[in-house]
């Protein structure tokens, strides 16, 4: 690289290269470009290459600086140096005799955000990028959603990265056969280059220590820049200047990444197409992921997903007359209906807002409260949990998202439930919540779950949203489309609660599309903690919160609902 750091890459080429050269796909990774002695991962890398070669493409995979077999240090996710390295690799590719001068980037998870940022390198050779299951704003969509630190993920991801970088991790032996090892470069016959590279990795950032002390945007840094600044949302001007087409993939149960994809779709001028399935992170599990079709197989299959991605790249790199991956800007899956739909905006045309009010005796109703003194008291239960197979756990190559019947979990929470619906109700959009609260403490987490209750009493998880109380200030100038109240999570906007003083909290839940059948009921469940996922706030004490639901201070849920006429017409056609 420009500063002398050596970056490890693999180049995959077909045996026969046409005279006009090959369009190239590039994937930059923090998780080893190639693994040895790890059968499953090695097979996945091999099959990935075979798919591109069969389509007449070259594939280049890159170990990010400070990781894998590359030299240097990793200063945090998607540093300026890491992204510029990819730009230099693109420059190298187009000079090779086997290149046709075009490059397309793709990747999933970390690699997906890397692909997104290849569009910010300013290289004319880059013709299209495919960010899959990745973050547009890494601060708000993974590290601290709603300002609530995602401690489970940050700790375990950091631990895994130290092991991948070649350093000891408590309880994880470095030489275990099942873990494999990173592939050295071809010239490293005795492994000495890899040893030297991994010695430099010892200076990699300690993300766990950084995140453990973080309470605001300014505390999460990558080199001299903020995490929010090195994310695609922070480099939006460069991405927009490129004009590069984007093809984003995500799932309703993929962390907060559905919000990421929709924010990019509705922000900036790049041609953007988005596909949102019922999936968890990566869409690589055997099951589809819909809670209403638990036995349905993954669709599209992994093979079909690669066909769609390669088709997108070839259309923009080689000009192949391959049909577009979908006819509109957005293709999304409606849970419960188990059907795909197309739209050109979010929320889709035909969606209107309904207000549902928190009421007496745990009711959730369309009618505004009439009680002058209505309120509910809740002592935060720090043992409350969503379990260990959630939308957040799937982010670390995790299991399929499985939210079992939440009826017993809701017993630890403050719940509000509607009467049985008198007609089918399609919720498609980004729900929002307004809570009027008092607390005995200066800070706390407020987590709201949207659920459906079947006539049998089974409770199905649909989506959730959260806000750390000190970050409740609503900013009037969000840097991108957020579909509701925006919170800066910056230090200058921190406002501690005043114990006993009524405060308004407004925040969004993560987007969703779900058909709730007649006779079923809506529910919101309010928590102050999720014991398997988020940081405990406050770290000591037992806060008591009071939710006001009076005439003057009506706490309510805003639901995006598909107009019944549009819904009926769509079902007919």
Q: What is the CATH number of the domain that holds 271?
A: 3.40.50.1820
Domain edge (last residue) among 323, 343, 363: 343
Claim to verify: residue 251 and residue 338 sit in the same structural domain: yes
Percent of the chain beyond pLDDT 90?
88
What's the pLDDT at 399? 75
What's the pLDDT at 452? 98
Domain count, the chain: 2
- 45-99: pLDDT as tens digits: 999 999 999 999 999 999 999 999 999 999 999 999 999 999 999 999 999 999 9
Claim to verify: residue 359 and residue 431 sit in the same structural domain: yes
Claim to verify: residue 381 and residue 465 sit in the same structural domain: yes
Domain-located, residue 447: yes
Claim to verify: residue 318 and residue 388 sit in the same structural domain: no
254 is catalytic: yes
Average of pLDDT values for 267-280?
96
Structural domain harbouring 468:
351-572
Q: How many CB atoms lie within 10 A of CB 330?
A: 22
What's the pLDDT at 179? 57
Average of pLDDT values for 265-290?
95
Percent of the chain beyond pLDDT 70?
97
Spot the catalytic one: 281, 316, 487, 529: 281
Spot the catalytic one: 109, 233, 439, 513: 109
Average of pLDDT values for 274-291?
95
d(CA 211, CA 497): 23
Claim to verify: residue 356 and residue 273 sit in the same structural domain: no
Q: Is the pLDDT of residue 172 over 70?
A: no
What's the pLDDT at 571? 65
pTM: 0.96
555 is catalytic: no
What's the pLDDT at 36? 86
Domain-located, residue 278: yes
Domain-located, residue 159: no
- 424-436: pLDDT as tens digits: 999 999 999 999 9
What's the pLDDT at 43? 87
Domain edge (last residue) among 280, 308, 343: 343
Dihedral sign computed on CA atoms, order 20, 21, 22, 26: negative
Claim to verify: residue 335 and residue 356 sit in the same structural domain: no
CB-based contact 213:219 (threshold 8 Å): yes
CB-based contact 547:555 (threshold 8 Å): yes
Average of pLDDT values for 336-342?
96
More confident position, 537 or 173: 537
- Of the pLDDT bands very low, low, confident and very high (cuts 50, 70, 90), residue 39 is confident
d(CA 205, CA 500): 41
Q: What is the CATH number of the domain that holds 467?
A: 2.60.120.260
Claim to verify: residue 172 and residue 319 sit in the same structural domain: yes
Q: What is the DSSP string of 308-359?
A: HHHHHHHHHHT---PPPSSSSSEEEEEBTTTEEEEESSSSPTTEEEEEEEE-
What's the pLDDT at 559? 98
Domain-located, residue 120: yes
DSSP E strands: which ranges in 267-324? 272-277
Q: Is the pLDDT of residue 573 over 70?
A: no
CA 86 to chain centre: 22
Claim to verify: residue 360 and residue 471 sit in the same structural domain: yes
- 256-265: pLDDT as tens digits: 999 999 999 9
CB-based contact 275:311 (threshold 8 Å): no
What's the pLDDT at 406? 98
Claim to verify: residue 56 and residue 115 sit in the same structural domain: yes
Claim to verify: residue 389 and residue 338 sit in the same structural domain: no
Q: Is the pLDDT of residue 173 over 90?
A: no
Q: Is the pLDDT of residue 567 over 70?
A: no
- Of the pLDDT bands very low, low, confident and very high (cuts 50, 70, 90), residue 551 is very high
Domain-located, residue 331: yes
What's the pLDDT at 80? 97
Domain-located, residue 209: no
Claim to verify: residue 485 and residue 451 sit in the same structural domain: yes
Average of pLDDT values for 217-224?
94
What is the average pLDDT value for the chain, to the nearest integer?
Answer: 94
CB-based contact 437:420 (threshold 8 Å): no
410 is catalytic: no
Claim to verify: residue 338 and residue 410 sit in the same structural domain: no
- Of the pLDDT bands very low, low, confident and very high (cuts 50, 70, 90), residue 175 is very low
CB-based contact 459:404 (threshold 8 Å): no
Domain-located, residue 153: no
Residue whose pair of structure tokens reads 């006009």 in the numeric block: 20
Distances (CA, A) of 97 to 57, 58, 100, 172, 557: 14, 12, 8, 43, 60
Q: Is the pLDDT of residue 32 over 70?
A: yes
Average of pLDDT values for 188-204?
95
Residue whose pair of structure tokens reads 């690589």 in the numeric block: 284
Domain-located, residue 322: yes
What's the pLDDT at 254? 97
What's the pLDDT at 176? 45
Spot the catalytic one: 151, 254, 410, 424: 254
- 123-149: pLDDT as tens digits: 999 999 999 999 999 999 999 999 999
Domain edge (last residue) among 308, 343, 378: 343
What's the pLDDT at 11? 98
């Amino acid at each position: 690289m420009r500063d002398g750091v050596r970056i490890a890459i693999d180049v995959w080429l077909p045996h026969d290269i046409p005279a006009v050269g090959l369009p190239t796909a590039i994937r930059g990774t923090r998780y080893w470009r190639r693994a040895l002695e790890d059968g499953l991962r090695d097979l996945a890398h091999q099959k990935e290459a075979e798919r591109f070669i069969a389509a007449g493409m070259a594939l280049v995979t890159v170990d990010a600086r400070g990781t894998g077999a590359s030299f240097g240090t990793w200063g945090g996710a998607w540093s300026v140096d890491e992204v510029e390295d990819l730009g230099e690799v693109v420059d190298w590719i187009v000079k090779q005799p086997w290149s046709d001068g075009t490059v397309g980037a793709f990747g999933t998870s970390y690699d997906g955000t890397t692909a997104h940022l290849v569009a910010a390198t300013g290289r004319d050779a880059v013709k299209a990028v495919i960010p899959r299951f990745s973050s547009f704003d890494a601060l708000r969509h993974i590290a601290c959603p709603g300002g609530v630190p995602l401690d489970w993920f940050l700790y375990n991801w950091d631990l895994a990265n130290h092991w991948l970088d070649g350093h000891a991790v408590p309880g994880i032996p470095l030489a275990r056969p099942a873990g494999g090892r990173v592939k050295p470069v071809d010239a490293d016959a005795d492994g000495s280059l890899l040893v030297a590279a991994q010695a430099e990795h010892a200076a990699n950032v300690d993300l766990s220590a950084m995140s453990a002390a973080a309470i605001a945007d300014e505390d999460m840094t990558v080199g001299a820049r903020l995490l929010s600044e090195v994310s695609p949302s922070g480099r939006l001007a460069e991405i927009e200047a490129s004009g590069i087409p984007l093809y984003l993939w995500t799932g309703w149960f993929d962390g907060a990444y559905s919000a990421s994809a929709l924010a990019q779709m509705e922000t900036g001028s790049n041609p953007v197409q988005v596909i949102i399935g019922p999936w968890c992170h990566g869409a690589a599990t055997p099951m589809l992921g819909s809670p209403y079709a638990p036995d349905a197989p993954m669709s599209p299959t992994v093979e079909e997903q690669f066909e769609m991605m390669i088709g997108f790249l070839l259309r923009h790199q080689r000009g192949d007359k391959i049909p577009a991956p979908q006819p509109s800007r957005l293709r999304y899956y409606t849970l419960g209906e188990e059907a795909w739909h197309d739209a050109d905006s979010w929320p889709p045309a035909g969606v209107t807002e309904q207000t549902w009010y928190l009421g007496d005796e745990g009711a959730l109703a369309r009618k505004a409260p009439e009680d002058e003194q209505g309120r509910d008291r809740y002592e935060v239960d720090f043992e409350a949990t969503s379990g260990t197979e959630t939308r957040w756990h799937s982010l670390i190559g995790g299991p399929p998202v499985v939210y079992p019947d939440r009826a017993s979990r809701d017993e630890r929470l403050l719940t509000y439930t509607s009467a049985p619906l008198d007609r089918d109700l399609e919720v498609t959009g980004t729900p929002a919540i307004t809570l009027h609260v008092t607390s005995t403490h200066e800070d706390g987490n407020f987590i709201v779950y949207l659920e459906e209750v079947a006539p049998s009493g089974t409770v199905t998880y649909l989506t959730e949203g959260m806000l750390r109380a000190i970050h409740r200030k609503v900013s009037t100038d969000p840097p991108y489309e957020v579909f509701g109240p925006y919170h800066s999570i910056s230090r200058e906007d921190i406002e501690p609660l005043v114990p006993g003083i009524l405060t308004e909290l407004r925040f969004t839940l993560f987007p969703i599309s779900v058909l709730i059948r007649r006779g079923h009921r809506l529910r919101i469940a309010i928590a102050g903690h999720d014991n398997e996922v988020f940081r405990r706030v406050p770290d000591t004490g037992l806060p008591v919160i009071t939710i006001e639901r009076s005439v003057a201070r009506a706490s309510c849920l805003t639901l995006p609902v598909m107009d019944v006429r549009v819904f009926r017409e769509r079902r007919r056609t």
